[in-house]
Structure 1
Amino acid sequence: MTDADFHTLDGEEPTAEFDHVIVENDDAPDECALFPHEASEEELTTAWIAAYDDSFVALESMQ
């Protein structure tokens, strides 16, 4: 397990900063990968989460 940068607002729980990338596949469902903002290349091999197809939506569509 690695340390992450956490930021707090008054009275709120810490949150980590994440980045994402969307992979548009021709022959498979699209993928959205989430990973820590300042992860090293070595950390990126294990510190990510993937969502597939309709498991994710554009932020703009939810506002």
Structure 2
Amino acid sequence: MMGYAVTEGVSAADAFVNAATILSGISGLFVVIATGFVLAPVLHRVLHSFRVEKGKDDDD
């Protein structure tokens, strides 16, 4: 917002609207977050498949 207010000389309200417009255009971030939520359990299962059991000679 400061960039709009200082460099463009617009009011604080207009600077807020311009900044909010740009931030709302970051829909790609939603896709990344949603993909993370979907793939996290799958990755968790895959990592559990690599679990190694402790043997008799292993200490804590």
Give the TM-score, by structure 1 length. 0.19
Q: Which of the two has greater strand per residue?
A: 1
Larger RCO (CA under 8 A, 6+ residues apart): 1
Q: Which of the two has greater helix per residue?
A: 2
Give the TM-score, by structure 2 length. 0.20
Give 1 or 2 for the bigger CA radius of gyration. 2
